[in-house]
Structure formats: C-alpha cells, structure tokens
Structure 1
Amino acid sequence: MLEQNPFATDEQLAERFGVSVATIRLDRSALHIPEARERIRRVASDRQDELRSLDEQELIGRLIKLELNRYAESELTVQPVHVFRKTGIVRGHILFAQINSLATALMDADVALTAKAELRFYRPVRLGDNVRARVDVIGEHGDVVRCRAVSQVNSEIAVQGIVWVHKDPANLGADFMDEGEAR
C-alpha cells in the first residue's frame, strides 16, 4: 500500500488493515519503513526544480513534484482550521488556495500572479482527508499561462478547472483581455 501511496499515515494504514496504530508503528519499525513525514520529505527532495515565484512556506499543502513551466503536485491533509466547525467540510477557499498557490509555484518567473480562475467543485472534502492537487501547463499566450488543475481525494475528483497565471504582473491589464487569448 505504501508503494502506491507513500503519504499514507499510520492511522490510515491501521484503518485499511483493521489493526491498531501501535501495530502499524511496530511493523513499520521492524521493516525499517520511515514515518509519513520522512517519506514525504524524501519524495519532495526528489523533485527536479526549485521554486522561484514564491517561498515554499507560502504554498498551501506540501510540494511533492515540480517541473517549472510543466507541472506541479502537492498534498494537503485537512486540519480542523480548514473546515467549518458545524459540518466538518473544508472551506472552498482552502481548496482554491492549494490549486492557486501550486499554479503560481510552477511558473519559472520571479513574480507570478493569478489572472483568472474557473473551478468547479465536485464533492465535499472533509476533516482528515488528504487532498492531492496537480496543475499542468496547457497553453501560453505572451506572459499568460493557462493551466489545468485537478484536486482529488482517494482518486475522486473534488475540484477541477482552469487557472490562468500571469508571469509579468506589471503588464496584467495589457496582455490579458479574455479567456480566448490565453488558449
């Protein structure tokens, strides 16, 4: 299971295999499998490029993969601060922020800003869920880059859409007139 999802927590493994968290930790230790944080760190250190347009702490979620001007992936584990107390459902701006910061992060530019976003929310995301987001560059027109964005929880699409990112915000109004020009 960890080969397929190296980000699975001890709690998720325990639930999946119907054993206690303590059993998972003992087995993981005996098999010399590091805890989730270390597995995440190892995957993140394998990424090929470094962030330019923002600092890693400004990214919403943990950066997993990054190829500047091509694609980026991140993962966000939903915490109590991300959800409405009454329902336990993630606030929409958190899911947008994960995608938006990832789209900005993937730009090979010193400064990048969102020009426009069209996202559709398909399913509620709840406390404890792991949201995996991927943003791919699909087109470019001048300094405006068009990106496809998808967020998933357990292979189910939660959010999907298009984000346009401007690599030179000084010319934002001049270059970006309508969605057709960025295709």
Structure 2
Amino acid sequence: MPKRERQRAMVRALEEDPFQTDEEMARRLGVSVQTIRLDRMELGIPELRERIKHMAENHFDRVKSLLVEEVIGEIIDLELDRSGISLLEIREDHVFARNGIARGHVLFAQANSLAVAIVNSEVALTGSAGVRFLRPVRVGERCVAHAQVINRKASRLQVDVKTRVNGEIVFQGIFDVYRLEENDVGSSEGEQA
C-alpha cells in the first residue's frame, strides 16, 4: 500500500477507534510498528497514552446516574444526553476458563452502564434492550464502546451502543433508558412498600 493511502487509512481507523495501539495498527495495515510510529509522527498523531489523556481532559461531563465504581469499563468521553465512549480490557476474570472467551454479560454490562451513564439525571434505569453479539471476544482484547442517543423524549432516551475490537464491531445494542426525577423515586418506593 502506498504511504499516502496507508496514512489516510490510519487516520480513518483512529477516527473510528482512537484507542488502537501502534501494534494493533501495524497488524491492521500489514506494516511494522516502526512504520506506524513514523507515520504517526509525520501526521502529528500523539501516542495512545496522550490520546486517552487528551480525551479525558477535554471531553468529559460528570456522570450523574452512576457512581464511578458502578461503571463497567473506563469512561473516556462523555457528553450527557448525547454520547459517550468507554474502554474495557478483557481480563482473565471476564472470560470462561476453558476457552478464554469473554462472558456475554461482561460486554452487555459495559454497554448498558455506558448507556445509563450518558443520561443527565440522578436516577436512570434501563427499561429494555435489544442486543446482538457479533463475534467472540477473547482475553487481552480491548473493547471500545461508543454510545449515541438516537431518540429523546422527556423521560426516555434510546441509546445505540456499538462495541468494537480493533475497529471490528463485536457487540451492538439499542437501550431504552428512563430517567426518574426525585419525586418519581419517592413515589415508586412508597408504592412498593
């Protein structure tokens, strides 16, 4: 592949998934890691650590609906009631021991917690979800979930979440997330008692 074409492919790939390592990009484009580093330097693209730091510093609203420890994965970008990105590295405790494949509930939990986290409310709950698992994810792979609000009503957001590994979509879901106002929480608890 000619240099200019390779560099355009690199820019497109990093726009799609800004958290790719130089090693992943080298495999994807069929060149050496050194070639990727030289291309990145020529194009003024910072290394992964700097890209993550930049996104976290410049594109982050405060999560209202969850505590930080309740989020599955690490939220890297968040624009309340609009969009968000989270990152989850699949570890040994996320996979089935006999085959190293990630348990489905881990991928679902990353996507669901991101969908809830983007809601601009103190209380947000998933009402329903339609999900598809598109390929197995293995230990050591990094899952990048992108959430986008696709429909908005006063008390409900419909959120499309796509999770990618090396640019390939591995999970997709549409989540209906409801926001509850404080007076709704009190009346719900009173009705249940």
What TM-score bracket applies, with the shorter chain setting the length? 0.7 to 0.9
SS at match of 1:164: strand
> Of the candidates 88, 110, 118, which is equivalent to residue 130 of structure 2?
118
Contact 2:61 2:79 in 1 (8 A): yes
The amino acid that maps onto 2:107 is L
Which residue is equivalent to 1:179? none
Structure 2 portions without partners, runs of 5+: 1-6, 39-44, 189-193
- How far the C-alpha of 1:55 sits from its partner, in A, is 2.3
SS at match of 1:135: strand
- How far the C-alpha of 1:7 sits from its partner, in A, is 3.0
The amino acid that maps onto 1:42 is H
* C-alpha spacing 1:39/1:139, structure 2 compared with 1 (3 Å): closer
Structure 1 portions without partners, runs of 5+: 28-32, 173-183
Deviates most, 36-45 or 158-167: 36-45
- Identity across matched positions, percent: 42
Count residues with an aligned counterpart.
168
SS at match of 1:104: helix
- How far the C-alpha of 1:37 sits from its partner, in A, is 4.9
Which residue is equivalent to 1:51? 63
- Separation in structure 1 between the aligned mates of residue 153 and residue 19 of structure 2, nearest angstrom: 36
Which residue is equivalent to 1:180? none
TM-score normalised by L of structure 2: 0.71
* C-alpha spacing 1:59/1:117, structure 2 compared with 1 (3 Å): same
Is 1:73 the counterpart of 2:112? The answer is no
Which residue is equivalent to 2:143? 131
Which residue is equivalent to 1:109? 121
Deviates most, 1-10 or 88-97: 1-10
Contact 2:111 2:173 in 1 (8 A): no
* C-alpha spacing 1:161/1:13, structure 2 compared with 1 (3 Å): closer
Aligned-residue Cα RMSD (Å) equals 3.1
- Separation in structure 2 between the aligned mates of residue 124 and residue 150 of structure 1, nearest angstrom: 14
- Deviations, residues 9-44 of structure 1 (Å, cap 9, x unaligned): 57657877657xxx9xxx9xxxxx987556423321
- How far the C-alpha of 1:48 sits from its partner, in A, is 4.1
- Separation in structure 1 between the aligned mates of residue 18 and residue 161 of structure 2, nearest angstrom: 22
- Structure with bigger helix share is 2
